[in-house]
Amino acid sequence: MNERRVVITGIGCLSPLGNDLATTWDGLKNGRSGIGRITRLDPEPFECRIAGEVRDFAADQYFRVPKDARRADRYVQYAVAASKMAFDDSGLDVSQVDPRRFGVMVGSGIGGLSTLEREHATYLNRGPGRVSPFTIPMMISNIASGIISMEFGLLGPNMVIVTACATSNHNIGEAWRIIKFGDADGFLCGGAEAAVLPMGLCGFANMRALSTRNDEPEKASRPFDKGRDGFVMGEGAGVLMIEELEHARKRGARIYAELIGYGVSADAYHLSAPSPDGSGPAYAIGMALKHGGVDTTDVDYLNAHATSTGLGDIAEAKAIQLAFGDHAKNGLMVSSTKSMTGHMLGAAGGIELIASVMAIHDGVVPPTINVDDQDPECDLDVVPNTAREVPVNVAISNSFGFGGHNASVLVRKFA
C-alpha cells in the first residue's frame, strides 16, 4: 500500500491577497502586501489595529443552497468556498467515482470564534433563552469538514486535526497517509481561519505576540528582519484536492505536483514559545525527506513558518540549518509568505503549501518582503523582497503550532 503515489489535482484559496488562486498567487509573486487597517470592526480600542482581512467576500455564492451560508460561522464559509474552488479545479465528478473513497480533512486552529462572541453577547444582553440553538454546531472546529462532505456528497473518511497553526499541514499530511494506506482515493484537505475579532486581537496582543506597527501596515509583517515586532493576524482558507495517482490518471485529471513526504514532531518545551535549539522542527523536516526518498540537497525551496516574531524566526532558522547542513546556506531558497498574507493561523499551512506547489508549477519562488536589515541570526537565503524565476523541483512547507506541534509537508514536480 505504501507504494501508492499521491498527487495534487485541485487548489482553492481565499487570502488577504485575493479570493481565488490566481489573484493570491499573483500577489505572492509580485511581493504585494495584503495587510491593512482592520475594517470589520472599530480597531481603535486595540493595541494592534492591523490585519490581513479577506475582503469583498460573498459566502452565499459558494453554497449549494445559498441561505445555508447564514448558518455557518465565517471560518466555515471560508472553508466551503476554498473547498468548492479546489473541487471545481480538480474536475472531479462525484457521480463517476465511489464517494466512500473520497474524504474531507479541513480544520481550523481556533474554530467559530465569531459565533462564540456573538452568542455570548446575546446571553449577556438578552438571557439564556435567546442564545441560538445553532451555537454549538456553528462554532465547533470539526463542522467545516462535516458541511463540506454534505455540500459535495463525499462519504469517505471525515475528520479534523486541531494543532493551532500547524492544523493545515497535519490535516494534509494525515490525509496523505490514509490514501497511501489504501483507505481512500482522494481528499479535500487543508484549513480555514477567521479570528480577526475582538477576542482574537486581545488574546494575541496581551501575549505581546502582535505587531503594533499600525502606521505602516504593509511593512508590519517582516519575518527574518531585525525590525520585526510581532506577527500580523491574517484570515482565509487553503484547501487542496489530493488524489491517488492512478485514480487521477484514469479520469484525466490535471496534476499540479506530487505530495511525497510528511514529517511530525513535538517540541515538548513551552506553551507558546518554540524550543530555541530547533531540534523539533528539524526532526519533522528529516522525517518528511525520508518519506520522500530525497536528499537534503534535492530540496530547492522551503516555505518557512516564520511569523515575524523574535524567538520563532531564529528557532526556525536553527532548525533549517540543523536539518539541511551546508545546503541551508548554499542552494536552499527560504521565504516566508506570511510577510504578505500575515499569519493565517490554522489556514497558514494550506496557503503556504499552495505557494510551494505553485512555485514548482510556475518556476517562481515568492519572496520574503520587508527584509530591510536581515537578522544575522537568521543566516539563510530568504529571497528578500523580490521573487525569483528559477526551476523548482522539490519544495517543503513548515508549520508549527502553540503547544510545540511541528509538521512539514514535502512536494515534488510531477514526472
Containing 389, the helix (H) or strand (E) segment is strand 388-389
What was the pLDDT predicted at 24? Answer: 98
Catalytically annotated residues: 165, 305, 343
What was the pLDDT predicted at 3? Answer: 85
What was the pLDDT predicted at 25? Answer: 98
In angstroms, the CA 347 to CA 36 distance is 19
pLDDT mean across residues, the chain: 97
State the cell numbers at 382: 530568504
What was the pLDDT predicted at 163? Answer: 98
- Show the low-confidence residues of the chain (pLDDT under 70): 1-2
What was the pLDDT predicted at 29? Answer: 98
- Strand ordering across the sheet containing 186-193: 102-107, 186-193, 236-244, 6-14, 257-266, 405-412, 394-401, 301-303, 333-335
What was the pLDDT predicted at 19? Answer: 98
The residues, any chain, with a CB within 8 Å of residue 246's CB and separated by 6 or more, are none
Structural domains for the chain: 6-250 (3.40.47.10), 260-412 (3.40.47.10)
In angstroms, the CA 11 to CA 8 distance is 8
Per-residue pLDDT reduced to its tens digit, 233-262: 999 999 999 999 999 999 999 999 999 999
What was the pLDDT predicted at 400? Answer: 97
Per-residue pLDDT reduced to its tens digit, 87-119: 999 999 999 999 999 999 999 999 999 999 999
